[in-house]
Chain A
């Protein structure tokens, strides 16, 4: 003799392995109590730290000689640039056109103007004047399209 409960549970006992799997999956999703209040920033910090480490290892450390060479070239350029900055102003001052060069330029301009000849004044064309008569005498313009 069995009670209804015993009959019902016995009937579905075969589902126990699947239920165990479901239970374990749900429980696995739960974090342990100590880890539950883990703040998000710690996660982010570790993420950034790992990312920076990977970036350093993959991008810089693997071709460190190339980066060192590039750095040396840039340093050389910086030094060269710093050395060139001082005497640059006198050079610019010296680069101003001399008076005789300016005089020759003006003469060339004058000669060019003579060759081109004098400019004739162009008579201005007057716009056609409207026929002045009373508005009542004027013919209406009908435009058809």
Chain B
């Protein structure tokens, strides 16, 4: 089962006081998911490590801006997402991010754990994930990695919940379609 921040007792209140142990616990909890998310967006190891480090530093400096302790995870991912956008801007790939989607049907209700992938198909899954556009890949990664709600994904990516819903649906549909082209049964 997916273990997410909502069910965890994270020492966010202690971190607000500058307690290094609290920060260590928080960073230890999120470092790998954060790295995964950033890497799957930028695809460069050193850039990813830099962004993770910048995100951690920014978090320690701006923890006062976090309104709800329970939203620490999405707040941290939001910082990382902004860093990714800054990286794309430097690389001149901002237009890809601002890509607007047309009308899309209603999102499917499937959760991140509804996708079960066989070991021999894992490489295909990763390859298909890379075929999605960055905005779609971002919402899908946030959905898969941390099971963030639509509202939280909206806060992270700076998009309206309706847009997030559409993107998530489109991303899932596109991934499923690509998947079915390669495999008869995605589950």
Main secondary structure of the interface of B (DSSP, over half): helix
- Asked whether, in the complex, the Cβ of B32 is within 8 Å of the Cβ of A19, the reply is yes
Within 8 A of A (CB), among B132-165: 141, 144-145, 147
Q: Are B122 and A19 in contact (CB under 8 A)?
A: no
Count of chain A residues with a beta carbon within 8 Å of a chain B beta carbon: 29
Q: Is B45 close to A, CB under 8 A?
A: yes
Residues on the B chain within 8 Å of A9, using CB? 32-33, 36, 145
Determine if B116 is an interface residue (Cβ-Cβ < 8 Å). Answer: yes
Out of B28, B45, B60, B144, which one reaches A8, CB within 8 Å? B144
User: Is residue A94 contacting chain B, with contact meaning CB distance below 8 A?
Assistant: no
Give the interface segment out of A10-18, A60-68, A113-121: A10-18
Query: Which residues of chain B are near A13, meaning CB under 8 Å?
Result: 32
B positions within 8 Å CB-CB of A: 2, 17-20, 23-24, 27-28, 31-33, 35-36, 39-40, 45, 48-49, 52-53, 56-57, 60, 112-113, 115-119, 122, 125-126, 141, 144-145, 147
Given contacts A28-B20, A31-B18, A32-B19, 4 further A-B contacts (CB under 8 A): A3-B115, A4-B115, A8-B144, A12-B32
